[in-house]
Structure 1
Amino acid sequence: MITAQAYRGKKIGVFGLARTGVAAVRALEASGAGVYAWDDSEVRRSAVSANAVHNLYDVDFNTLDAVMLAPGVPLTHPEPHSLVKKCIASNTQIISDFDVFEAARQDLPSHKVVAITGTNGKSTTTALVGHMVAECGKPVAIGGNIGTGILALDPLVEGGVYVLEMSSFQLDLTKSFSADIGILLNVTPDHLDRHGDVAGYVRAKKRLFDMQMDSSAAVVSVDDDHCAALIPMVQGRVVPISVERAVVGGIYISNGELFDGLDGDPVSYGDLGAHAPMLLGSHNWQNMAAAYAAGRLLGFTGERILQAFGNFPGLAHRQETIGFIRGVRFVNDSKATNVDAASRALRAFKDIHWIAGGRPKEKNFSALAPLMERVKQAYLIGEAADAIAHDVGAHVGITDCSDLSQALERAFANAVEGDVILLSPACTAFDQFADFEVRGAAFRKLVESIEGDAA
C-alpha cells in the first residue's frame, strides 16, 4: 500500500467503505493517522478494524482535520449529503484518496503520474497506457477508478509510472492532485443528477487541469466543443489530439492513419488497423491517439508504442470479442451504458444484430437512428425497449425480447457468416442485472453455451 507521512498524527474521517474507502482506511492507519471510519452498511463496516469504526453522524467534526468521502457521495446535487452539510458547518476540509496520494508522492521514489478522464473510453485508455508503459520497459501501477484503489497500489521503484483513471466524482472531491500528464478524452452529458447540469460536469472534468503545475502536460481531444474550450485555460503544455482533423503540434488520426506532429512536421506511422487489430473504431483511434501522446511525453519512440498497441488484449465488457461461432462474431460491449458509448460500438462494426436496452440514462435514443444502416435487426430488452423502438424503429427491424437470453437466441438464429452479434445496450443494467459487469458475464456465459451446442 501507499502511505503518507504528512498524515501522521492527523484525525481523518472516512465515509464510505467500499473498495476505495477500505484501502484508504488501511493506508491512513499505516501512515499513523487517527481514522474515524463509517459506512451506513454494517457489512461494509466489518471490512475495517473495529478500532477505526466511529459513527461519523455523531462525531464532532471540529475535532477532525479532514473528511474523505466515497466518490458517490453527493456534494451539491440533487442535494448535499448530510455529512457534507456537517463539513460545511464545521469548516472541515473534504478530501479524496487522490489527495492522500499526492501528499505521499514526496516520499516515493522518483516517478511520473498519468491521469485519464473523459465520459467514454477512459478505462480502455488507462489500461492501454499501462500496457504500453510495461511493454516499453518501465515499472507501472494501474489504479484509481479502474481496478485497484490508488492507496492500495504498491509503491513503484525509481522511474515508475502510475497510470490512474479518474471519474468526475473523484475529481469533484479532490483538492491537490497534480498529474504530470493529464488526459481528457471527451465530454458528453453524463451524471447530471450529480453535477446539476452540463456546465457542472465540465467543471468537474476541468479540475484535472486546474490542479496541474506549469511543468505538466495536458493531452486534450479537440473533437468536441467542451474539451476544446478548456485548452486556453490549461497552465502547462497542451498536446491536442484528434480523429477528425489535422492538428498542429499534436497527434491526429486520419482514416486510420496516425500522424505524429510533436516534433514539427507530422510524421505518418501507418495504418492503425494493421498495428492494433483489437482496437477497432474511431473511438479507439481516440484512445490510441491519447495513449500514444502520453507515451511520447514519457520518452518512448513511436515505433515502440505501436508495437505495444499490437499486443494489447483489450478490456472485458468494452467491445470485447468473445469469439466466433459458424463465422458469426460475438461482441460484449456491456459497458456501453449511454447513447454515446453505444454509438461508438455501432460505428465500429457492420452487418450487426444489435442487442440493446435496460434502464435508460437518457430519455431520447434518436441519435442512434442514423447508425441503423449498419444494423440488420435490433433485439430490445428491459425498461427502455419501447423508447428505443420508438426512436429507431423507422430505420431498422425490431424484435421485442423478454430478456438477454431470448435476444441472443433470436439474434443467432437470424445471423449468417460475417455478421456481428453486438451487445451494446445504451442503458444501465440495473433493471435486470446488478451492474454492467454481471450483464456482460451473463452474455459471455450464454455465448459459451451456444458454442458448446454448436461444437
Structure 2
Amino acid sequence: MIPVQGLTGARVAVLGLGRSGLAAARALRAGGAQALVWDDNPEARARAEDEGFATRALLRVGAFDDIARLVVSPGIPHLYPRPNPVIAAALRAGVPVDNDIGLFFQSFATPDWAMFDTAPRVIAVTGSNGKSTTSALIHHILEHAGRDAQLAGNIGRGVLDIDPPVSGGVVVLELSSYQTELARSLTPDIAVFTNLSPDHLDRHAGMGGYFAAKRRLFAEGGPDRAVIGVDEDEGLFLAGQLSEGRGDDRVIRVSVAGKLGGPGWNVVARKGFLSETRGGKQAASIDLRGVAGLPGAHNHQNACCAYAACRSLGLAPRVIEAAFHSFGGLPHRSQLIGERDGVRFVNDSKATNVDAAAKALSAFDNIRWICGGLEKEGGLDGLAAASGSVRKAYVIGREAAGFAMQLRPEAEVCTTMQAAVDRAVAEAEPGDTVLLAPAAASFDQYDSFEARGDDFVRLVRAHLDR
C-alpha cells in the first residue's frame, strides 16, 4: 500500500466504493487521514463499514463543511455530460476534487528514497487503443530484464494498492482519460501516448475535450521523456508542443504509418520490422513478424511504444527483442483461443470502437467476423477500408439488424453470441479466422467487454472440445 501523504488529520470524502475507491480509503487511513465514504449501493457501503469506515451521505446539508478533499472513482462524471450531484455540491462548497491517481502521485516519493542507490521511476501509458497491451508489455520486458516492476492503474493492481517501491523499481501505470482528466497531481518520469480515436465523447464533450484529457498527462506532468504516437494529427501536434527542436530526444516519435526522418529519436514499424533511429542513424532493428503475442500493425505500434519506453530506461535492444518473443498477449486483445481443422479462433472483445476493430481486421485474412453491440457515436464508416478480408459478418446485439445494414461485407443477423459462433463455425473453411472484434460497447447484452469475451471463449472451447 502507498499511504497518502499531505492529508494527515484531515477528513476526506470518498465517493464510489469499487476497487479504486476502497483502496483510496485504506490508503488515506494509512496516511493518517479520516476517510468518510459513500456509495449509492448499500452493499458497497456495508463492505466499507465492515472495514471500519464511517459512511456519510454527501448530499445532506453541510456534508462538506469539514471536508478537505473529495476523492471520486473514475466512472463518476464530474463535468460532462453533467456533473454528478455530489461533485457539484463539493465544488459549490469550495472543496477540491481529486482521484486515486492524484493521491498516488502526491504520495509516491518518500524520505526513504534518500537511501536508495537509484530512484524509482513511473511510466504512465495513455491513449485510445493499445494502452493495456503496451503497459503489460513494458512490465513484461522489465521483469524479463530482471528489473523490479509493478503494473497498476486500469490493469493489474490499484495504484494505491501496490507495494512501496524499492531502489531502482519501476511502476507501470495504464491511465484512462477519466483518470488523467481529474488527477490533481500527474508527475510520471516517462509518459506514453499510443494513439487517439473517437471514444467516450459524451464524457468529454467531443474530441477536443477527449484529447485535452489525454494531453494533461504531458502538459501537467512534465515527464522527463515522452513517447508519442504521431500517426494522428493530435499526436503529431502533441509531439511538436513538447519538443524544443528537431533533435530534442526528450520526445520519441512512434509511427506505423510511414517513415519518420530528421535528427530526433524515432521508433517506426513498417512491413513487420521495428526500426530505431537516433541522430539520423539507425540504432537497432527487430523483426516482429514472428512474435506470436503481437499480431498485426496495431500490436506493432504497441511494441514500438513499449520498446521506446524501455530504451528510455537504458535496456538493450536485444534484451527487449527477447522479451517480445516470450510475451503471451492479454485476454480479449487479439487473443488466440485455439485452432481446429485449419480454422483459427481469435478473441478481440476489447475492440469496443471502430478504430480498434479496424486494426483487428487488418491483422488477419479470410475473416469470419463476429461484431455488433451498443454502437458508439460516429457510425461505422471507418470500418469500410479494413473489411476487405472479411468473408462474412455475424452480427450480435439488440440492434443487430441496424448494425448489419451499415456493413459492406455480407452480414447475417444473429443477435446472440451463441448463434453467431454456431453460424461462423458451420461456415468456416480451412484458412479462415473466426474473429470477435465487436466495434461496439458490450452493455446492451453484457456487463463488460470481459464478460462478452469470456462468453465467446466458452462457446469456442466447447466447439474445440467436441
Q: Work out the CA distance in 1 between the residues paired with 2:72 and 2:234.
A: 27
The residue correspondences of 1:35-434 to structure 2 (distance < 5 A) are: 35-48=35-48, 49-58=51-60, 59-107=62-110, 109=113, 110-213=119-222, 216-234=224-242, 237-247=250-260, 248=262, 249-262=265-278, 264-274=280-290, 276-362=291-377, 364-392=379-407, 395-434=408-447
Distance 1:4 1:363, change over 3 A: closer
Deviation at 1:296, TM superposition (A): 0.3
Any conservation in 2 of the 1:168–1:204 contact (CA below 8 Å)?
yes
Residue 127 of structure 1 aligns to a residue whose secondary structure is helix
- The 8 Å contact of residues 37 and 53 in structure 2, kept in 1 or not, is answered as no
Provide, for residues 332-361 of structure 1, a one-character-per-residue CA deviation record: whole Å limited to 9, x for no partner. 111111111110110000100001111111
> Aligned partners of 1:271, 1:16: CA distance in 2, in Å?
45
Write the letter of the residue equivalent to 1:272: L
- Distance in 1 between the 2:352 and 2:98 partners? 28
TM-score (norm 2): 0.93
Closer, same or farther in 2 for the Cα pair 1:156/1:106, shift >3 Å? closer
Q: Give the drift of 1:82.
A: 1.1
2: CA distance between counterparts of 1:138 and 1:387?
Answer: 50
* Secondary structure class of the residue paired with 2:460: helix
Q: Partners of 1:182 and 1:363 in 2: how far apart? A: 28
Does the 8 Å contact 1:258/1:269 carry over to 2?
yes
Deviates more, 1:69-78 or 1:217-226: 69-78
Q: Which moved more, 1:84-93 or 1:131-140?
A: 84-93
The reply on whether 1:442 has 2:455 as its aligned counterpart is: yes
1:15–1:38 CA contact under 8 A, matched in 2: yes
TM-aligned CA distance change 1:32 to 1:80, over 3 Å:
same
TM-score by length of 1: 0.95
Separation in 1, partners of 2:34, 2:304: 44
Q: Which amino acid aligns with 1:269?
A: S
- Determine helix, strand or coil for the equivalent of 2:108: helix
The aligned length equals 449
Supply the distance in 2 between the matched residues of 1:8 and 1:40 (Cα, whole angstroms).
Answer: 27
Label 1:51 to 1:280 Cα distance change in 2 as closer, same or farther (>3 A): closer
Runs of 4+ in 1 over 6 A off after TM superposition: none
- Distance in 2, Cα, partners of 1:172 & 1:61: 23
Deviations 1:419-445 (A, max 9, x none): 100011111111111111111111111
User: How much has 1:448 moved relative to structure 2?
Assistant: 1.1
Displacement after TM superposition at 1:264 (Å): 4.6
* Structure 1 residues 165-201: Cα deviation after superposition (integer angstroms, max 9, x where no partner): 0000001111112110000011111111111111111
Query: How far 1:384 sits from its partner (Å)?
Result: 3.8
In structure 2, C-alpha distance between the alignment counterparts of 1:210 and 1:176, rounded to whole Å: 12
- Given that 1:326 and 1:417 are in contact with CA atoms closer than 8 Å, whether structure 2 keeps it comes out as yes
Q: C-alpha deviations, 1:138-162, integer Å up to 9, x for none?
A: 1011011113210011122111000
Query: Equivalents in 2 of 1:381, 1:313: separation in Å?
Result: 28
**Residue 452 (str. 1) matches residue 439 (str. 2):** no
Q: Relative to structure 2, which stretch is displaced further, 104-113 or 74-83? A: 104-113
* 8 Å contact from structure 1 (residues 352, 375) kept in 2: yes
Q: Which runs of 5+ in 1 are unaligned?
A: none
Change (3 A) 1:85 1:235: farther
Kindly indicate whether the alpha-carbon contact (under 8 Å) linking 1:2 and 1:151 is maintained by their aligned counterparts in 2: yes
- Which residue in the other structure is 2:116 paired with? none
Task: Tell me the percent identity.
Answer: 40
Q: Is the 1:74–1:81 contact (alpha carbons within 8 Å) kept by the matching residues of 2?
A: yes
Question: Are the aligned partners of 2:292 and 2:328 in contact in 1 as well (CA < 8 Å)?
Answer: no
**Does structure 2 conserve the Cα–Cα contact (< 8 Å) formed by 1:429 and 1:435?**
yes
Opposite residue 97 of structure 1, the aligned amino acid is: D
Match of 2:247 in 1: none
1:300 is matched by which residue type in structure 2? L
Is the deviation greater in 363-372 or in 128-137?
363-372
* AA in 1 matched with 2:96: Q
Whole-angstrom CA distance in 1 between matches of 2:179 and 2:42: 24
Which one has the bigger helix percentage?
Answer: 1
CA contact (8 A) 1:357 1:381 kept: yes
CA RMSD in angstroms, aligned pairs only: 1.5
Inter-partner Cα distance in structure 2 for 1:129 and 1:419:
32
Cα displacement string for residues 247-302 of structure 1 (whole angstroms, at most 9, x for unaligned residues): 2421111211111113651234132113x222011111110000000010011011
Once residues 186 and 363 of structure 1 are traced to their aligned partners in structure 2, the CA distance between those partners, rounded to angstroms, is 17
CA shift for structure 1 position 241: 0.7
Task: In structure 1, give the amino acid aligned to 2:238.
Answer: L
In 1, Cα distance between equivalents of 2:396 and 2:234: 33
SS of aligned partner of 1:25? helix
Q: Is the 8 A contact 1:144 1:165 kept in 2?
A: yes
